A = this chain, B = another copy of it.
Amino acid sequence: MAAVRYHRETVVARAVEVLDRFGLADLSMRRLGTELGVQPSALYHHFPSKQALLAAVADEILERTLLPTAPDAPWDEQVAGICAWVRDATLAYRDGAELVATVWSFGLGASTPYEALVAALRRAPGTDTGVEQHELPEIGARTLLHFVFGHATDEQTQLQAASAGAIEDLPRGGADFAVGLGIILDGLRARVRA
C-alpha cells in the first residue's frame, strides 16, 4: 500500500471534521484512521494517546473563534465577553461544548478560557487585597466555566434531539444563557463591593 504521510496539524483538522459531522461518540482512533486512509496505530506517531488528540482538537476549536479583546472595558463586561466567546466557540462544532469541558476537566489543554476569566476577575476592585477575597478570581472563574460548559452542553444536546425529530420545541438558549450568566455576575459584583 502507498504510505500516506501527514503531520499533526492535518490530523487535528481532520479530527475536527469527523467530530462535526459524526459527533464525539464516533470520533475514535480507528474511525479517524479510516478517514485518513491510515492504520489506527499510525496516529500514535502524532499523539501519545486519545486524550492528547482530544486536547489538541479542543484547543483548535477554541482558536478558530476569536476572543474579542476589550482591554479598557470594565471587568464585568470583559467577563461577559469571555463567557459569550466560550459559548460561541463550543457551539460552533457538534459536541464542541462536551468535548472542551471534558478536556478542561482532565487538565490537558483548553485552559485559555479559565486563564482569561481569572485575568479579568483580578481587575475587579478588592480582589487583590484582603484574605477572604484572595482566591475570588479563581473560584469565580471555575464557577462561571461550570455554568458556561454545562449550559452549552445542555443546549447542544437539546439541539441534536430536536434535529433528530425527537422534540418539537426548539430551545431559545441565548435568553437562558443571559439570565444564568446575569445571576452569577450579580453575585460576583456583590462580593466585590463588600
Contacts and interface: CB of A to CB of B under 8 A. Distances in A.
A147 interface: yes
Interface residues of A, number: 29
Interface stretch (A22-30, A55-63, A184-192): A184-192
Interface in A165-194: 176, 179-180, 182-188, 190-191
A122 interface: no
A183 B176 contact: no
Contact of A154 (B142, B187, B188, B190): B142
Interface in A124-169: 135-136, 139-140, 142-143, 145-147, 149-151, 153-154, 157
A39 to B, nearest CB: 25
B143 A183 contact: yes
A183 B188 contact: yes
Contact of A183 (B106, B140, B179, B180): B140
Contacts of A143: 147, 151, 180, 183-184
A180 B139 contact: yes
Q: By CB atoms of chain B within 10 A, which of A136, A142, A157, A187 has the most?
A: A187
A153 B187 contact: no
7 contacts: A105-B157, A106-B157, A146-B150, A147-B150, A186-B186, A187-B188, A190-B190
